[in-house]
Structure 1
């Protein structure tokens, strides 16, 4: 009787082991099937955009770069196609000129200001900008992006009073 009692746990173990091993194999098979379902995404190649090619090449920058659904737009300033400052001394008009250039870039990528997620504004005259910032309500009609307003001593050219850079997320 004792011999049978000692053999009983071994018998139960012998019966249970194949079930445990089979269960592990099934679980590994399920994990393998899940891994097979993973999608590999190839890295996106950057797409560069030049708004004023001559000016941007002379200063050494691209006005915008799109990678995947993200678009980074360099700071827009108030200038003509030759790179000369415009609306000198008129911060509000310079701001409007910046937004007009930014809209051209957004349109190139099939976006609007509704797609902007970050807007950073640099100005040499913060009190005047705060007075004129209400104009942004005409630009952002649905919601405002995140961002910063930064007072600076100077911009690239002494006549420039404002520069606006954007980050955009293009929805699929």
Structure 2
């Protein structure tokens, strides 16, 4: 009888051990599935506003990863990549924001979703004289960011370039 009790205890112990192993493996598999889902959600989604121009210069205008969207600097250009509004700072600025608006709309966003705005300009004085236009763009709040005076942009005719970072909760 004593041997039977020892055998029964050993069998019970093995069953508990087996059950725990099964539970741990099941949890690990669930965690692995969650990781795969998270990785799938964070796969970069690229967007080209002017595919031929972007390919020629070697960049993508925007990339979305998860809830974050990074938008390359917008400049005042036509669909062939030629500068527009040459010498007209205010119009170049409006053209930049028009392109940025088109990209935001592609992702179902507005300027209310912008969290960072960096402005690069070859003429800080002209930018400051026209900065008030941003009140028409940002109606709720202004994003963080920097205003940088630079010697030149990609082409000599460009006077301003604006890049954005966006956070869009799902």
Bucket of the pairwise TM-score, normalised by the shorter protein: 0.7 to 0.9
Distance 2:138 2:99 in 1: 15
Kindly state the Cα deviation for residue 137 of structure 1 after the two structures are TM-superposed.
Answer: 0.2
Question: For 1:147, what is the secondary structure of its paired residue?
Answer: strand
In structure 1, the gaps of 5 or more residues are: 1-31
TM, length-normalised to structure 1: 0.78
Question: For 1:118, what is the secondary structure of its paired residue?
Answer: strand
CA RMSD after TM alignment: 2.0
In structure 2, the gaps of 5 or more residues are: 1-23
TM, length-normalised to structure 2: 0.79
Aligned to 1:171: 169
Distance 2:126 2:153 in 1: 16
Kindly state the Cα deviation for residue 42 of structure 1 after the two structures are TM-superposed.
Answer: 2.4
Distance 1:97 1:137 in 2: 16
Give runs of aligned pairs for residues 1-172 of structure 1, distance below 5 A: 39-40=34-35, 41-43=38-40, 44-172=42-170
Report which of the two structures shows the higher radius of gyration computed on alpha carbons. 1
Question: For 2:39, what is the secondary structure of its paired residue?
Answer: coil
Distance 1:42 1:91 in 2: 43
Distance 1:42 1:75 in 2: 28
Kindly state the Cα deviation for residue 45 of structure 1 after the two structures are TM-superposed.
Answer: 1.0
Kindly state the Cα deviation for residue 171 of structure 1 after the two structures are TM-superposed.
Answer: 1.4
Distance 1:80 1:157 in 2: 13
Stretches of 4+ aligned residues off by more than 6 angstroms: 35-38
Question: For 1:138, what is the secondary structure of its paired residue?
Answer: helix
